[in-house]
Structure 1
Amino acid sequence: MKKLLVLSALAAMLASGTALADTSGKKIAFSNNYAGNSWRQAMLKSYDAVTKKAVADGVVAAADVFTTADQEVPTQAAQIQNLILQGYDAIVINASSPDALNGAVKQACDAGIVVVSFDGIVTEPCAYRVVVDFEDMGRQEVEQMKAFHPDGGNLLEIRGLAGTSIDEAIHKGILAGVEANPQFKIVNSVTGNWDQTTAQKAVATVLPSLPDIVGVVTQGGDGYGTAQAFAAAGKPRPTIIMGNRQDELQWWKEQKEKDGYKTWSASIAPGVSTLAFWVAQQVLDGRTDVPHDLLVPYLAFTQDDFEAALPNIEVGGVASAEYTQEDAVKAIEANIKK
């Protein structure tokens, strides 16, 4: 009778997708294509803190990080192939391209390796994707701009890292927002690489040829540099959408104190890397019900709440949240219910 009860319990656990395996001997690698801005540095810092504890606690045997020396797809593809040869059980990936890495990702899956992409996701069906609705974020930028400038006007767009899924999705959302609000017009677009210095230089280059700008739609990590470029050129200060970086929010606070400056800020939390890690761990642990696409919210601040968050953001850092194993389980279950 006791044996039958145990078997029934095991059957119920399997039916519900509950984890049964032991991951203490499993090795997880993190393939990262870029570390050249504050968001990526915060992402790596969060990942390091959470995974070191997971290794120390015996949850997994290893959680090694590998960042490519450049932003090129072939370099990351070769890196993934090398990780396959090194015998990792799972690969967490922030991808340089949504589709150009699919061949290497499929090789990993065919070798029995769990692949979880996040931020820069991959489209290969065998991979898991921790997805933020970046298109909605782009649309919301224009909707927020409408609240500040109901009559519309000219917009400057700052794009991110070329070729990534994030850049394409946010750009697509911004275009959709402008289409729904034709009182706005994008008069120029520059590449900022999600980096203040790059954005400042790019904006400074085009400013002399631009008409009056009422607002700047961005992707994060470029707001403060954009503000500096406008100030240096002696141009009127536009409404600049921010990306949750400490220097951006600090500048916003100073402008608000000076004359009530209003804007909006949004970005994916860098700590989403830790959620991707725990999703990989859960799949390795035997969960059979994990959706291949898990939608998680982006982090946004308004005129009323950004100042309360600012003291908790490290100087030079980004507003973030780190995830636990329990958070991953809740995220998986919430997506299953959807």
Structure 2
Amino acid sequence: MKFSVTALAVCLTATGLGAAIAPAAAQDKPTIALSNSFYGNDWRRQMVDSFTEAAESAKAEGLIGDFIVLNGDGSVPQQQSQLADLILRGVDAIAINAASETALNNIVGKACSAGIAIIAFDSILSEDCAHTLGFDFTQYKTDQAEATLDLIGRKGNVIVVRGVKGSAPDAQMYAAQMKVLEANPDVKVAAEVYGQATAPVAQSAIANVLPSLPKIDAVLGQGGSDDYGIAQAFEQYGGDYADAMPVIEGGGSADFIRWWAGRMEKGDYATTSMNTTPGIGGAAFWVALALAEGDDVPQEMVMPVAVVEPDNLGEYKDMPQGRIVSPSYSRAWVAEHLLSGPAAN
């Protein structure tokens, strides 16, 4: 994939290079920016790709003058610096996947005061001036946890694998999981670890605690690509798990789905797979454009999640490595399902 030369496919880390980039030139068409707090897992990379694809399409159609993509290291100070730079550059709208629900509110308020439209998506903000495009993390993680506990007869030992530390989605999903677990006293939490929604991190975290734990019956995760890392940790540990793997919650990653399909071919392996869709990056771009054009946009919007079950597992088992189950969201889809105005062409 080729990024806009002007946008430089800006994948900044904590180097502070954002301030070194020339300000966006004044132009009749809007400039749309992405401020992504974290780039360290498959989900976030696919999300950035979806934003970029939509932005390149809009630029080719003459709908925007340019776009900017800034990726961070997960820290609040760096994202604050990104946003301050974008304010100085006078962009028209910023799509923000936030490092914190509250810590960015002050700088976001300054952006709004400068006339910049804000759409906070996925990991959203609590600043009142920001429009939000999120997922119902509480409902979908409640549904998945309930289904997972059904598969183990609502008794046994579980590991809870948390997501991106400090993010709003992690807090919401964890709270939903814990509420379900608290209502099932015969299910014991044997360990909690952070997997950062990333296969290698989740694999290492599980491998480090397994030797000290009782037999694990299920693992509640948060998606990204933690699912495959968890599965690999149990497979490498072996022992009783060689023939009786725990129920590992799937998060829609291609590697996990192929692993699950392989287990199904060898015998019956029951699990669940639900995930937030990284295609939200493209949807966020189209919402940002609508805001920049002055369209009527709801203050709060909710995206659907993807579900993989035994009946449709075969549809996804040949996905390319490193991908997460997700549709692409077109401008027309966004207009029909998220915006209050008439459908776009």
Q: TM-score, normalised by structure 1?
A: 0.88
Which is greater in Rg? 1
**2:293 paired with 1:285:** yes
Question: Which residue in the other structure is 2:65 paired with?
Answer: 61
**2:92 paired with 1:89:** yes
Please give the alpha-carbon distance, in whole angstroms, between the structure 2 residues aligned to 1:62 and 1:73.
26
Question: Which residue in the other structure is 1:306 paired with?
Answer: 313
Identity of aligned residues (%): 35
Question: Which residue in the other structure is 1:4 paired with?
Answer: none
Please give the alpha-carbon distance, in whole angstroms, between the structure 2 residues aligned to 1:98 and 1:90.
19
Please give the alpha-carbon distance, in whole angstroms, between the structure 1 residues aligned to 2:184 and 2:134.
26
**1:151–1:71 Cα change, 3 Å:** closer
Please give the alpha-carbon distance, in whole angstroms, between the structure 1 residues aligned to 2:237 and 2:168.
32
Aligned mate of 1:31, from 25, 32, 35: 35
Question: Which residue in the other structure is 2:165 paired with?
Answer: 162
Task: Give the Å deviation of 1:334.
Answer: 7.3
Unaligned segments of structure 1, at least 5 residues: 1-22
Q: TM-score, normalised by structure 2?
A: 0.86
What amino acid does structure 2 have at the position aligned with 1:104?
I
How many residue pairs match? The answer is 311
Deviations 1:270-320 (A, max 9, x none): 1101111111111222223x2211011111111211221233x22221111
What amino acid does structure 1 have at the position aligned with 2:300?
D
Task: Give the Å deviation of 1:202.
Answer: 0.5
Aligned mate of 2:217, from 191, 214, 217: 214
Deviations 1:231-271 (A, max 9, x none): 22224221000111100100000011111111111111111
Question: Which residue in the other structure is 1:8 paired with?
Answer: none
Structural mapping, 1:37-52, within 5 Å: 37-52=41-56
Are the aligned partners of 1:140 and 1:177 in contact in 2 as well (CA < 8 Å)? no
CA RMSD of aligned residues (A): 1.7
3-state SS of paired residue (1:310)? coil
Please give the alpha-carbon distance, in whole angstroms, between the structure 1 residues aligned to 2:309 and 2:43.
20
Task: Give the Å deviation of 1:183.
Answer: 2.9
What amino acid does structure 2 have at the position aligned with 1:244?
G
3-state SS of paired residue (1:168)? helix
**2:321 paired with 1:318:** no
Task: Give the Å deviation of 1:331.
Answer: 2.0
**2:235 paired with 1:231:** yes
**2:322 paired with 1:327:** no
Question: Which residue in the other structure is 2:77 paired with?
Answer: 74
Question: Which residue in the other structure is 1:180 paired with?
Answer: 183
Please give the alpha-carbon distance, in whole angstroms, between the structure 1 residues aligned to 2:117 and 2:76.
20
Task: Give the Å deviation of 1:137.
Answer: 1.9
Deviations 1:15-55 (A, max 9, x none): xxxxxxxx961111100111111111111222221210101
Question: Which residue in the other structure is 1:100 paired with?
Answer: 103
3-state SS of paired residue (1:327)? helix
What amino acid does structure 2 have at the position aligned with 1:205?
N
Please give the alpha-carbon distance, in whole angstroms, between the structure 2 residues aligned to 1:181 and 1:63.
49
Task: Give the Å deviation of 1:119.
Answer: 1.1
Question: Which residue in the other structure is 2:204 paired with?
Answer: 201
Task: Give the Å deviation of 1:111.
Answer: 0.6
**2:264 paired with 1:260:** no
3-state SS of paired residue (1:131)? strand
3-state SS of paired residue (1:84)? helix
Compare 98-107 and 299-308 and name the one that shifted more: 299-308
Question: Which residue in the other structure is 2:12 paired with?
Answer: none
